[in-house]
Structure 1
């Protein structure tokens, strides 16, 4: 028994000893320099000493202190390399990424010479290396991809395999010291985001700075440093004072001065700064999660992100404005300490911190705080240093670049443009301020005027970002740019007329595609059924109204003022009275038909409702799907029709809670389980290969049409290239918007999915607490109890449906309709079923639920040529509702003339108007008036009298290619088109751009079209 115990004991001892050895042999990916044992794995020569130090540190409480002399080095072979899979890549391998070394280094005093960082594969291989100068003070965080180094460098996106890491001194003349922390030997990093700065200027040498407006440019910074300013006149100084007063007025608090010391001290204490030889605190980071950590640090405890720091400093600055003299003194002192901490943490001019992409979203509060506190900063001798820091990180020098470098960007207009204006005043030289204001006005005027491929505000009023119309990003620009216009108005630095006019069109277009404030799901990008609203733009519309009109002939812009009265007049009685009484301005009215060709969107408005009709094409993406946003967003542009009352999305039956992401109203889709509906890609912005998607308008009516084709296309984002969906869904869809009705036609509906049904959704109503659970079918009657789920075979005589929001649907084709009134379960769009990833904006919500009324046309599994026809009467009154329910409503005001693969043609008898959707060219059409079309086209023809007609023509092909075949994304080029009419016609007004040819009993019009714009002609016999 004793022998057995002894053997067991020996075995256990041996096992423990082996485990210890294995643990000891575990080589680190990262060294945090928190334990003395970590230094045991570093060798150094006799001219070096290394110790742990708490004098300066990043994450944790200590760093490696290296005291060196000439020809010193430290090195280690006790290291490991992170694979791509082990690296913290937000999008996995979706974007190109490469092995990158990362570390932080602190320098107390500027020193001559450089440090060389070297990597060895084995004793016989050439080294890979780079150098950084020691001409800085404070912290610097360095990211260097191995493919950007010197020596035997690997190719981009390929693994590295080195065994030894070494730091050595080069041209060091005096003994020196640096502190090194958070050393990651190699991790994969997104190739877009290792930024150059004064320490690593060799990065991205082949990258033009205008390609990434976030990336601080050394060249741009030097434009400011090297610029020579002339003395300015007294008149210019007065205008500069006016601009500064206007900027100050945006921050001045009208409250009575008070003692704010206690409140300010509490706020300052959140920084938890330690004032010693330097001001120390938690690492002041940009995006901590992009760097590998052995143990993830705790947010706001182990580190502080710069946007959080900015929010605290903005609070202090606001209290400074309210404070009495005693309060101002205390707040100034605390603010200066915080500023010194900010600079010491590596936020000085010339430092990129490894990367600071999208930095504008994190710096708004900080820029405001520094602007407000200019006087205390100047008294402390820090204004110039802080000003240079801001002009570096905000890339202010771009306004002095050659005009060829000027490229519009909505992110810039949102997060940098207004702050550029403020940063210009963070200096004491008024001559340099004048120089920069001139440059700023020029830069803004040019970029705001751009409406070609470089522009973001397109000719039709759409606001482009990520290669398409994106109101969510436009909102950011609309939030900040009006402040710029009003601040500079009526001065020599005002925005040019062309820039002003182009921006005006973009922001006023928001009121056309919103109702009353909400712009709906169709153009929501990756934010469906969220807070997609223009309501926060109240002060911005007023700013634009008081900025004057674009040609500056009026101090007030009447169109903005009129829009303001309609949108916010009831909320702001005082301003409304001024606009009405002093300027004789009335609220705008918006009924009509509006087309956004660059968004494949049409808006039909009547009374207080709007129908937003949406498609996509080769040039316009369907939606934006991100790794943890809009995960199920495949269908919001599949010919959808969103009906919005003045109550907005929620008040019109749209809510994310329980929403079936398959069933957007109007969409033709393959109904999939959400697990299969979720995209298989981290990023997807699908474009088909079809060019036919758009709308034609005539007076207040219009026709929208698209070829829906999921069988082939491309991904506009991420891994750009060919992409398709396996079901290969196809359809030809049109919506004829005539008066108070929408006539919807679909033909050639097909799919090869043998498991899931193809559907066209009539409606999906969220039943909120204010809506009765009451829908209607002419086949069944009232339906008002949850749990109803039934299919109905339709016919062309009396198949009527009324949803919970008093929208009437008249099915005029023989289809099976399915109606459901029930409780639904779904997933939040910010949550991925398949990966478990979740965007923080989802606030932890994975599953959702709600009560819904839903109706859809069932085309069956794998249809080969299904179709539908139905009419919508939006938001009908009680009288019409009652007539439908009692079978007394008949509508003979229109006729469907043709509905096949070639064309959809409808005639509205009351309007004497034809609508034609020609999906292909044809020389022998058999429809009224039109004999032939050379191109797929959309046409409306209004009979204005016995011998005259009004003709409206669109080729919806945006043609983003120039004559040489070069792609010009976001900028269309002319297309020639011929429309042949039956009979002999002549133009009422001669037009040099239109060629009219008569041949026997036909008349052919030949002309150029562009940008999906409607071209109008009046003809007589």
Structure 2
């Protein structure tokens, strides 16, 4: 606590305001954070002769400017300043680690790497590679003492970025030289696959599971299977929204919210107000004295707001036959899609820190699925499928699970996105392979789980955090019951035992809730007396048929 307080006392203040003359918010001002909002390149930032530096307003991730670097093969960009690296607590009481945080923009993907080096008095102490085979923004949170090569030293005073053996141009923004962060949450992706290696946290294994391969062979899709797919797609659409008339009030609300994001195209390039994942605020936790973990939500720039608007646009598009309105809604949707993709919501990108992202991404999967035809018409469907597959960690369904059960968070936050990432595909052998794998994986997940593992038990309990936990069960049962109904009556339906297991959990919950509320003794860390079962889950299971 003393170390933490000392750090806070020496930190600069949180801004959380619109800066004079700036279009977009620079969330924090701090000596550790380089946002490049000045008109000139800082004197401590230099590059080799033949390469060029500039302040650009073409792309931005914090505020409305970034540092542009046009480089020659093998050139280096140097940032000379105190990096504020701090060693980990030798007592082990403080588990936070000092991390380097940066966002990089690439206009032209190249199958190459740049090298970040960290120096003390011109001596390289530690380094890491960063892949540049992408377009748009990519973020990285890399812990000095765990993820980098070499040994970091307090007093490091230079960052050197070394170019590959080709010419190119990159942009850098929101660069934090050193910030103590929760060491559990940094996330590997295609750019930095070595970060937080060995983590088994189900939120953070996107990259690792993207490498998994199927064991079910590819086969042609039969007409009967296509009919099953049409049935499932119709049921899924009916789950996602209820058709109703599009009101003028809803259109005006959509327009106002859309305008807030200030999405524009210039010379074929998209730009808009930067959007953030709620957990990105953790970068500032020990940098500012009045840190607020919900700062992005309060400013309206958290990605859940963004994707919920995309969902509203998709729903409105499907709720009107007015050609003029449909054209406007289509334009707004594609602009938001382009902007999100450009800001790093794309295949291969994990934004540095992605833990618990499922809660913020629900609208993404719904919106993209509902606009499948629009995305196809715009030539973006294949890219969108890859994006959904990545964030839904859909390849996790490929291998047959070794044990029964699935974590309740997966039932709650990933199932809808995972089935959306499959059903949005065209009717290819790969889609059929995914459906068969998904059905097998879900079936094993609904079978009675061993010991204290999640989720469903043979006696009707539903486990999370190693005990029967109805507060989590209701969210997980939404996913489980919907998927049982979705697959029912098709080739991909669940087994009798899996169906019976979920049914028994629902009936057991109905017994101990009597009528709807569960007792405080079963409320865990939610002892507010407000928890209750969800009747629609019983209706869903009823129309799904008997085991």
Q: Scaled by the length of structure 2, what TM-score is found?
A: 0.86
Which residue of 128, 136, 139 corresponds with 1:138?
A: 136
Match of 1:270 in 2: 260
Partners of 1:258 and 1:322 within 8 A in 2:
no
Partners of 1:489 and 1:547 within 8 A in 2:
yes
- Match of 2:402, SS state, is helix
Rounded to whole Å, the distance in 2 between the matches of 1:384 and 1:116 is 31
Residue 417, structure 1, aligned to residue 415, structure 2: yes
Match of 1:32 in 2: 35
How many Å apart are 1:41 and its aligned residue? 1.4
Partners of 1:53 and 1:62 within 8 A in 2:
yes
Task: Mark the CA change 1:103 to 1:486 in structure 2 (over 3 Å): closer, same or farther.
Answer: same
Give the number of the structure whose alpha-carbon radius of gyration is greater.
1
For residues 702-755 of structure 1, what are the alpha-carbon distances to aligned partners after superposition, in whole Å with 9 as ceiling and x for unaligned? xxxxxxxxxxxxxxxxxxxxxxxxxxxxxxxxxxxxxxxxxxxxxxxxxxxxxx
- Match of 1:218, SS state, is helix
Match of 1:186 in 2: 178
Structure 1 segment 333-732 matched on structure 2, within 5 A: 333-404=331-402, 408-453=406-451, 454-534=453-533, 537-550=534-547
Alignment root-mean-square deviation, CA = 2.8
- Match of 1:513, SS state, is helix
Rounded to whole Å, the distance in 1 between the matches of 2:310 and 2:246 is 19
Which residue of 142, 156, 160 corresponds with 1:162?
A: 156
Rounded to whole Å, the distance in 2 between the matches of 1:381 and 1:301 is 35
Partners of 1:216 and 1:393 within 8 A in 2:
no
Rounded to whole Å, the distance in 1 between the matches of 2:301 and 2:227 is 41
Partners of 2:74 and 2:166 within 8 A in 1:
no
Which residue of 50, 53, 76 corresponds with 1:50?
A: 53
How many Å apart are 1:257 and its aligned residue? 6.7
Structure 1 segment 924-1003 matched on structure 2, within 5 A: none
Q: Which has the higher contact order (CA 8 A, sep 6+)?
A: 2
Rounded to whole Å, the distance in 1 between the matches of 2:366 and 2:479 is 13
Unaligned runs of 5+ in 2: 1-28
Task: Mark the CA change 1:526 to 1:230 in structure 2 (over 3 Å): closer, same or farther.
Answer: same
Rounded to whole Å, the distance in 1 between the matches of 2:210 and 2:240 is 28
- Match of 1:40, SS state, is coil
Match of 1:232 in 2: 221
How many Å apart are 1:457 and its aligned residue? 1.5
Task: Mark the CA change 1:227 to 1:513 in structure 2 (over 3 Å): closer, same or farther.
Answer: closer
- Match of 1:337, SS state, is helix
Which residue of 177, 184, 190 corresponds with 1:198?
A: 190
How many Å apart are 1:406 and its aligned residue? 7.0
How many Å apart are 1:160 and its aligned residue? 4.7
How many Å apart are 1:264 and its aligned residue? 4.0
Partners of 1:114 and 1:132 within 8 A in 2:
yes
How many Å apart are 1:116 and its aligned residue? 0.7
Match of 2:315 in 1: 318
How many Å apart are 1:418 and its aligned residue? 2.5
Which residue of 206, 218, 233 corresponds with 1:217?
A: 206
More helix, by proportion: 2
Residue 282, structure 1, aligned to residue 285, structure 2: no
Partners of 2:216 and 2:437 within 8 A in 1:
no
Partners of 1:306 and 1:362 within 8 A in 2:
yes
Rounded to whole Å, the distance in 1 between the matches of 2:428 and 2:111 is 35
Task: Mark the CA change 1:340 to 1:448 in structure 2 (over 3 Å): closer, same or farther.
Answer: same
Task: Mark the CA change 1:530 to 1:362 in structure 2 (over 3 Å): closer, same or farther.
Answer: farther
Rounded to whole Å, the distance in 1 between the matches of 2:81 and 2:173 is 16
Unaligned runs of 5+ in 1: 1-25, 87-92, 551-1021
Rounded to whole Å, the distance in 2 between the matches of 1:348 and 1:72 is 29
For residues 334-353 of structure 1, what are the alpha-carbon distances to aligned partners after superposition, in whole Å with 9 as ceiling and x for unaligned? 10110000100001101010
Rounded to whole Å, the distance in 2 between the matches of 1:410 and 1:95 is 30
Rounded to whole Å, the distance in 2 between the matches of 1:204 and 1:227 is 31
Rounded to whole Å, the distance in 1 between the matches of 2:527 and 2:519 is 8
Residue 104, structure 1, aligned to residue 119, structure 2: no
The size of the alignment, in residue pairs, is 507
How many Å apart are 1:37 and its aligned residue? 6.1
- Match of 2:360, SS state, is helix
